[in-house]
Structure 1
Amino acid sequence: MCNIKQVLVVVVVMSFASVAYGDQGTATYYTAPYMHPMTASSCDGYKNDGVMIAAASDAIWDNKAACGRTYKVKCTGATNKGVPHPCTGQSVVVRVVDYCPPGCRGTIDLSQEAFAVIANTDAGKIKIQFDQ
């Protein structure tokens, strides 16, 4: 028979585990040039935002409220058999600077440089964990 201390320990451990994992989704990537003279970003117009950037899908866009938010993103696994172990074990922090329109293949569309920090770009699309 379990005593109350054991039950409390299990509850506390489970609550930390749920906080540690963050949101789950998928990531894809897009390639440079990120700032094109003919196409402004949805958030910053023609401003050069560097390369650790992302476009938000409808899942996190929130009617443009995602603009400027930063997300810590980590690869958690493959979405296809082409590259069965794509993750590097690292995480990356990106800033949302654009909108990934309906039909976007991922929860978040990372710059190629940001994607390469967390996964092999040959994978194309990966499972992720992300936290604002």
Structure 2
Amino acid sequence: LICNTSFADVGTAARYGPPFLPTTCYGNDPTQFPSSNLFAAAGDGIWDNGASCGRQYLVRCISASEPGTCEPEQTIQIRIVDYALQLESTPSVSGTTIVLSETAFGTIANSTATLINVEFQQV
């Protein structure tokens, strides 16, 4: 479980791949991406009119429609670098809480999945 589940939210996550630039948050600046490649785009529910840019979240896969998709023991820390409705590439599913980079998604779930249910908490 993430730190304290009483403070965590539950939502959905999709994945996206390149091209990643430009982003809504930081334009064409390549230094916006963490070296771990654990980053994401915020969906409407957490976008907060752009205030979510740079926020860090702990994210964990809790379920998916396909059994065996989640790696529930894996929790990642991601950085918001973009807005899900203005991505340069198409996410695996539209309308999710968060859209994870392929690296981030593949760390907590089977990378062939398109949609997972996640627990997330701002840090």
Output the TM-score relative to the length of structure 2.
0.80
3-state SS of paired residue (1:62): helix
1:115 and 2:105 correspond = yes
Q: How large is the RMSD of aligned CA atoms in angstroms?
A: 1.8
Count of residues paired in the alignment:
108
Runs of 5+ in structure 1 lacking a partner? 1-15
Contact kept? 1:24, 1:128, Cα under 8 Å: yes
Match of 2:29 among 29, 36, 47: 47
- Tell me by how many angstroms 1:100 deviates: 0.6
1:1-132 alignment to 2 at 5 Å? 18-19=6-7, 22-35=8-21, 40-48=22-30, 49-50=33-34, 51-78=37-64, 80=65, 83-88=66-71, 89-101=73-85, 104-132=94-122
Q: Which stretch shifts more, 101-110 or 54-63?
A: 101-110
- Identity of counterpart residues, as a percentage? 42
3-state SS of paired residue (1:116): helix
- Tell me by how many angstroms 1:108 deviates: 0.3
CA separation of 1:59 and 1:86: change in aligned 2, threshold 3 A: same
Output the TM-score relative to the length of structure 1.
0.75
- Tell me by how many angstroms 1:127 deviates: 0.4
Q: Which structure has more helix as a fraction of its residues?
A: 1
Runs of 5+ in structure 2 lacking a partner? 87-92
